[in-house]
Structure 1
Amino acid sequence: MKGFGVALGALGMIAGAAQAAEMGAVDKPIKLAINEWTGQHVSTHVAGEMLKAAGYQVEYVTAGYMNMYQAMADGELHGAMEIWSSNVSDDYAKKVEGGGVAELGDLGLDAKEGIAYPAHVGEMCPGLPAWEALKDCAQVFASAETIPMGRLVDYPADWGTPGADRMTGLDLPIKAIPAGSEGALIAELRASTERKTPLLITFWQPHWAMSAYDVQFVDLPVGEDACFNDPAWGPNPNAVNDCDFAPSRIFKAGWSGMADTWPAAHEILTNYQLDVADQQPMMGAIDVDGGSVEEVVAKWMADNEGKWRPVVDAATN
């Protein structure tokens, strides 16, 4: 409504009032959850800067990925911008069913998770990427804490245990050890690549490290619902999870009161999309080149206004 003009008199005031009602509680900050990995920081800050451009106050709040949904249902957190369906907690579904949390649609990233290794490891374990090869060369991956079993560097404990679930499901002699953080996962990949040492790791894309360290995925049996519910399904008749990760859907969710409290913000976050081709270079600029999340996102916002501004304008004009 900027520049609408004093000459419009009462009509202008009515239009302004309508806009204010659509914006909602602009004096109340919208709190977005910051989880434990760089891509999520990027996704969240892009969304937050879009909200700021619309005229909202935004706070970024550090929150545990698996246990943030109670705070969201209580209205203490208002949005989470990168939730992976493959390892979302049961608490999420309970809070959605209870009405405290509402889904805000897909983020738009083309994603994959799996058991992976740097390409040079293929020479140390002949038969890769076939998962059966791990039966015969598990000891190649052994460490002092796992010998005689092999070692899988799994996700940090707060992200769940998807790697450990696969080792058990496929009855492989490999022990999953949780990494301390995303940074620890990257450190493992870097050290393995530089020293040409064996490494088996739970990893995901989009991530800049996939190309930087030539990371390859192990070919696991293609998963379907029965794999996760019926032990009789799949190569191990005694366990579930004897298959690949479920195809990952990446979506957004928020406090169920958002639509009433900040209608335009709710519309912006629902329609917000981020492409892998945009997210992955920003991740590299942060983790490889040492840029801050704020600086890298600000540059992307300035260089790509045509990608995000229409979403903001559609919700506020």
Structure 2
Amino acid sequence: MKKLNVSLLAIMVAGAAHAADMGAVDEPIKLAINEWTGQHVTTHVAAEMLKAAGYQVEFVTAGMLNQFQALADGDIDATLEIWSSNVSDEYAKKIEEGTVVEIGDLGLDAKEGIAYPAHVADLCPGLPAWEALKDCAQNFATAETLPMGRLVDYPADWGTPGADRMVGLELPFKAIPAGSEGALIAELRASTDRKSPLLITFWQPHWAMSAYDVKFVELPPGEDACFNDPAWGPNPNAVNDCDFSPSRIFKAGWSGLADKWPAAYEILSNYQLAVEDQQPMMGAIDVDGGKVEEVVAAWMADNEDKWRPVVDAATK
């Protein structure tokens, strides 16, 4: 969603909505902090909007895949950057039982996939076509993966999407989970500096996509049938022989959120953040060494027209 659209959305919300009750302003609203910088930015922007409305906010560190029980129990009140391609079965169960509710899309234009720094195309002729990886896997091998190539997958807490595709497409790569988002960035930096081979599971929006000239491998389209019907796709004996599903990024809350803090629920439901706004803040933190609180505070001061109407619509 472009910046103009975000501003227009905020104005429309301000004109159409009625002020809601503030609810339990004496109790903090607990927001989940997950493992990646973009989510920290997303969550701190939301927190500042809630504070501007008059709420208290508390941050709770939570693993992306294991946060949903805490959300269902009310130990966390909202989580603000869920990627549809990387969500657990536990989330679906909580939605079905009604203990967790979705509270709208975040608005980020996103993509996930198997990726590599641009220089790797010289080490694996045929890229970005995925079939090229069959013939050059040995170039990516390490001591822990021989004779297979190495794929640096997401941290274990994020699931195994890269490993799933290596199996589905019968590619001779062993997926090694990264320890963190920072470890993924370290891999990209080292590969770029040394011009060494690297295959990695990665995503956009992320400042590293441009900083390290990251390209996505072209995989078969990520259609629903790929994940349910082994006969679909190039491997007739397996599912996941395709790209990631198109990513939807959305927000979710504890089922009691709307009743306990009606105005906060409206704010979080209508909250949107554009790639054009999130990505520079990520770079200011991860590249320039800024603190997330300071970077977000600067953005809030410079972009009040984008968030203030949403707060005012819910509270005035």
TM-score band (shorter)?
A: over 0.9
Gapped regions of structure 1 (runs ≥ 5): 1-17
Query: Sequence identity, in percent?
Result: 84
- Letter matched to residue 286 of structure 1: I
* Shift of residue 223, structure 1, vs aligned partner: 1.4
Inter-partner Cα distance in structure 2 for 1:210 and 1:223: 21
Listed one character per residue, the Cα deviations across residues 293-317 of structure 1 (whole Å, up to 9, x for unaligned) are 0000000000000000000000001
Inter-partner Cα distance in structure 2 for 1:46 and 1:93: 26
Please name the residue that 2:105 is paired with: 106
TM-score by length of 1: 0.93
Moved over 4 A (4+): none
Please name the residue that 1:315 is paired with: 314
Listed one character per residue, the Cα deviations across residues 249-282 of structure 1 (whole Å, up to 9, x for unaligned) are 0000000101100000000000000000000000
Gapped regions of structure 2 (runs ≥ 5): 1-17
Please name the residue that 2:29 is paired with: 30
Bigger radius of gyration: 1
For residues 187-266 of structure 1, what are the structure 2 equivalents within 5 Å?
A: 187-266=186-265
Inter-partner Cα distance in structure 2 for 1:223 and 1:99: 29
Listed one character per residue, the Cα deviations across residues 199-235 of structure 1 (whole Å, up to 9, x for unaligned) are 0000000000000000000000001111001111000
For residues 45-194 of structure 1, what are the structure 2 equivalents within 5 Å?
A: 45-194=44-193
- Letter matched to residue 257 of structure 1: G
* Shift of residue 22, structure 1, vs aligned partner: 0.3
Task: Give me the CA root mean square deviation.
Answer: 0.9
- Letter matched to residue 228 of structure 1: F
SS where residue 23 of structure 1 aligns? Answer: coil
Inter-partner Cα distance in structure 1 for 2:266 and 2:167: 43
- Letter matched to residue 311 of structure 2: V
Inter-partner Cα distance in structure 1 for 2:236 and 2:228: 12
Inter-partner Cα distance in structure 2 for 1:32 and 1:178: 26
Inter-partner Cα distance in structure 2 for 1:315 and 1:185: 39
Listed one character per residue, the Cα deviations across residues 18-76 of structure 1 (whole Å, up to 9, x for unaligned) are 97x70000001000000000000000000010000000000011001101111111111
Please name the residue that 2:273 is paired with: 274
SS where residue 125 of structure 1 aligns? Answer: coil
How many residues align? The count is: 299
TM-score by length of 2: 0.94
Listed one character per residue, the Cα deviations across residues 149-187 of structure 1 (whole Å, up to 9, x for unaligned) are 000000000000000000000000000000000000000
Please name the residue that 2:289 is paired with: 290
Listed one character per residue, the Cα deviations across residues 65-92 of structure 1 (whole Å, up to 9, x for unaligned) are 1011111111110000000000100100
Inter-partner Cα distance in structure 1 for 2:66 and 2:181: 18
